[in-house]
Structure 1
Amino acid sequence: MTLIPEAFDMAVTFDHPEFDHHEQVLFCTDKKSGLKAIIAVHNTNLGPAIGGCRMWLYETSGEALTDALRLSRGMTYKNALAGLPHGGGKSVIIADSHKDKTPELIEAFAHHVRCLADRYITAEDVGITSDDADRMARIAPNVGGTSEQGLGDPSPYTALGVYHGIKAAAQHKFGDANLKGLRISVQGLGNVGFRLATHLYEEGAILTVSDVYQPNLDKAIATFDADTCAPDQAHLVDCDIFAPCALGGGLNSKTIPEIKATVVAGAANNQLLKAEDDEALRHAGILYAPDYVINAGGVIAVAMTGNDEKAEAEATEKTVAIGETLLEIFDAAKAQNQPTGKIADQIAEQRFDK
């Protein structure tokens, strides 16, 4: 693993454009395992921060810091709108999950997580599996989504919430929540994206899929009889709904004018590159489902402390209700002639700023 070296000091962190009164930002290393990680705790007003760990080979440590700051802030808003007694946090491990991941590295990270037992709960995210979460939990009690003390892999709940969010968006935009016959471009076929595509296909949607990992793409073609395109072309597909389920920043001044869909609703975090991109989508006549609202199913599942049928039923009920929350946001945005993201932010801030 290679990483462009950069020097950080406190002033650089406080002056970072994505720094938003974060309560804690920790840089974690372990020489023996090669661990380089960042844990960001944004806000704990509603309770201990909760948010998964992402393993990604960032080109620079600056990119990793930006991601940790943005993602942790997004979790504060997500947890508030999901009605969870938790603040927002996130962690990133700078590594290639296919080449660099070792038990020693995961365990080294868990030791750092354990030091934040009263302030931060982590779980799986991109590049981190449920097995990794179980391994971390043997060291740190503040790991959610484990097979022994929780509901395990949260990705089925994330996908379920996005599916119901897409149905809510279709209801608001097209007057019908039925997705049969609609063309949907799904960008990213990871644990969440593939499950989402399954829900959409089973309802009769026509899919165009894209992913950087060829085995996932081949499986989707065979399973869904789907068309394909390059991931960076997914927003160009002539479709009804664009569902970004990969990394963030894909909705920006370059891509928004190119989007042919009239609905954007997907699982990716931090889909907007800049705050003003929210208004640009509204101006273009595109209904945007705020990312941290529609993809909250996973954190809802992680927040459950039990792993019995009651916990499953409660997590499912709260996840399905994401669609109702989005309908309220869509209606309010239309009535106030405001972007949907701005309305969602206002509701969340009223909850966690108390």
Structure 2
Amino acid sequence: MTVFNKVEFDNHEQVVFCSDEESGLKAIIAVHNTQLGPAVGGCRLWDYASDEDAVYDVLRLSKGMTYKNAVARLPFGGGKSVIIGDAKKIKSESLFRAFGRQLERLSGSYYSAEDVNITTADVAIMNKETNYVLGLEGKSGNPSPFTALGTFLGIKAAFKHMNGHEDLSGVKVSVQGLGAVAYSLCEYLHGVGAQLFVTDINQASIDRVVKDFNAIAVDIDEIYDLDVDVYAPCALGATINDETIPRIKAKIIAGCANNQLAESRHGEVLREKGVLYAPDYVINAGGIINVWYETLEGGYNEAASTKHVEGIYTTLCEIFERSKTEQKSTHLIADELAQEIIKNGL
């Protein structure tokens, strides 16, 4: 397995492979860039098909965190971690304590938090072995509602750019993936009268959203073929690819998943097709913004955090306008903005 010559490797400062025989821990920690501050990004627990898939994921995710934190104007660098395995089988106190000890060995170059299949309770166990974790209960807590708020506001910003107003009443939205963030997003959308079409690999998650928000359930593969206004990818990444783009009828793609574009070129393909894409690491930054507010000297301030998250709306409006003026895809505009901030500082 190679790392340095992978396309996803972008001069990462550190890629650390971790193991612990007693707990069964197999993990990878990737620190992409610490120019603006210590690398911060959540830990994902996933049953990857291969070690190569795990490396691919952690490299893409950690770079995305560098850009996400920069555009959100946070004094954080970018990092990410993955624990390899089936969450239903391997979760244990010893696993998370072992991972916490691995974080401690990095001496603060990387701070972890919750992500897919990791809860704030799991992070609290890591915290028994290290202080290099964020998003703790009793401080900023669960970041999911803030990620959902930012995503909801991002959808409104995209709709306003395309249609001149942000009234989502009667607007058809397909939501792919119904985890904690997506559930809250569906709640926001239902509250303003949007019509929801949803899918997930977990039937219980589908049933809950159908019951609570009068959503219409569709098959996993059918989600791409729906005649909707907005496609909201909220599961894992790379769902926007050569196979799915010709099938997507939505004129707006705006969701909370990371790494939605399978390849960078797909952003330009969307632009040429007339689809407005809300760059993932901009629209889904609400969670990491909220986490930052627990690091401040005066302690966590929910009102200040919420106001900062609401700024995602303005940032996306600026990106959409620059994209239109410069005739360049939105994800490239977002990348340029991130690179400017990293180079010049906050």
Q: TM-score range by the shorter chain?
A: over 0.9
1:330 to 301, 320, 329: 320
Q: Residue type matched to 1:19 in 2?
A: F
Q: Deviations over 1:68-125 (max 9, x none)?
A: 0000000000000000001100000001112221111111111101112321111000
- Do residues 190 (structure 1) and 179 (structure 2) align? yes
Q: Deviations over 1:190-234 (max 9, x none)?
A: 011111001000111000011101111111111111111122321
Deviation at 1:309, TM superposition (A): 8.7
1:56 to 34, 42, 46: 46
Deviation at 1:235, TM superposition (A): 2.0
Hey, what does 2:241 align to over in structure 1?
252
Q: Aligned partners of 1:22 and 1:336: how far apart in 2?
A: 30
Deviation at 1:305, TM superposition (A): 2.0
Deviation at 1:139, TM superposition (A): 1.4
Q: Aligned partners of 1:231 and 1:156: how far apart in 2?
A: 24
Q: Aligned partners of 1:38 and 1:353: how far apart in 2?
A: 27
Q: Residue type matched to 1:211 in 2?
A: D
- Do residues 314 (structure 1) and 304 (structure 2) align? yes
Q: Aligned partners of 1:57 and 1:182: how far apart in 2?
A: 35
Deviation at 1:135, TM superposition (A): 1.2
Q: Secondary structure at the match of 1:151?
A: coil
Q: Secondary structure at the match of 1:321?
A: helix
- Do residues 353 (structure 1) and 306 (structure 2) align? no
Q: Secondary structure at the match of 1:37?
A: strand
Deviation at 1:286, TM superposition (A): 0.2
Deviation at 1:350, TM superposition (A): 0.8
Q: Residue type matched to 1:215 in 2?
A: A
2:290 to 301, 312, 315: 301
Q: Residue type matched to 1:237 in 2?
A: L
Hey, what does 1:176 align to over in structure 2?
165
1:139 to 129, 135, 138: 129
Superposition TM-score, scaled by structure 1 size: 0.95
* Correspondence 1:19-34 to 2 at 5 A: 19-34=9-24
Hey, what does 1:279 align to over in structure 2?
268
* Correspondence 1:91-170 to 2 at 5 A: 91-148=81-138, 150-170=139-159
Hey, what does 1:205 align to over in structure 2?
194
State whether residues 257 and 284 of structure 1, in contact with CA within 8 Å, keep that contact through their aligned partners in structure 2.
Answer: no
Q: Aligned partners of 2:106 and 2:27: how far apart in 1?
A: 14
Hey, what does 1:44 align to over in structure 2?
34
Deviation at 1:15, TM superposition (A): 1.1
Q: Aligned partners of 2:40 and 2:218: how far apart in 1?
A: 35
Change (3 A) 1:152 1:42: same
Q: Secondary structure at the match of 1:257?
A: helix
Hey, what does 1:292 align to over in structure 2?
281
Q: Deviations over 1:246-265 (max 9, x none)?
A: 00000011111110100000
State whether residues 117 and 141 of structure 1, in contact with CA within 8 Å, keep that contact through their aligned partners in structure 2.
Answer: no
Hey, what does 1:4 align to over in structure 2?
none
Moved more, 133-142 or 43-52: 133-142
Q: Residue type matched to 1:141 in 2?
A: N
State whether residues 140 and 300 of structure 2, in contact with CA within 8 Å, keep that contact through their aligned partners in structure 1.
Answer: no
Q: Residue type matched to 1:80 in 2?
A: A
Q: Secondary structure at the match of 1:204?
A: coil
Q: Secondary structure at the match of 2:87?
A: coil
Q: Secondary structure at the match of 1:144?
A: coil
Q: Deviations over 1:268-292 (max 9, x none)?
A: 0000000100000001100000000
Change (3 A) 1:121 1:306: closer
Q: Residue type matched to 1:91 in 2?
A: S
Deviation at 1:310, TM superposition (A): 5.9
Hey, what does 1:3 align to over in structure 2?
none
Hey, what does 1:261 align to over in structure 2?
250
Moved more, 34-43 or 169-178: 169-178
State whether residues 172 and 228 of structure 2, in contact with CA within 8 Å, keep that contact through their aligned partners in structure 1.
Answer: yes
Q: Deviations over 1:47-83 (max 9, x none)?
A: 0010000000000000000000000000000000000
1:81 to 66, 71, 81: 71
Superposition TM-score, scaled by structure 2 size: 0.97
Residue ranges of structure 2 left out of the alignment (5+ in a row): none
Hey, what does 2:56 align to over in structure 1?
66
Q: Aligned partners of 1:164 and 1:44: how far apart in 2?
A: 29
Q: Aligned partners of 2:26 and 2:163: how far apart in 1?
A: 47
Q: Aligned partners of 1:117 and 1:206: how far apart in 2?
A: 48
Moved more, 222-231 or 335-344: 222-231
RMSD of aligned Cα (Å)? 1.3
How many percent identity over aligned positions? 48
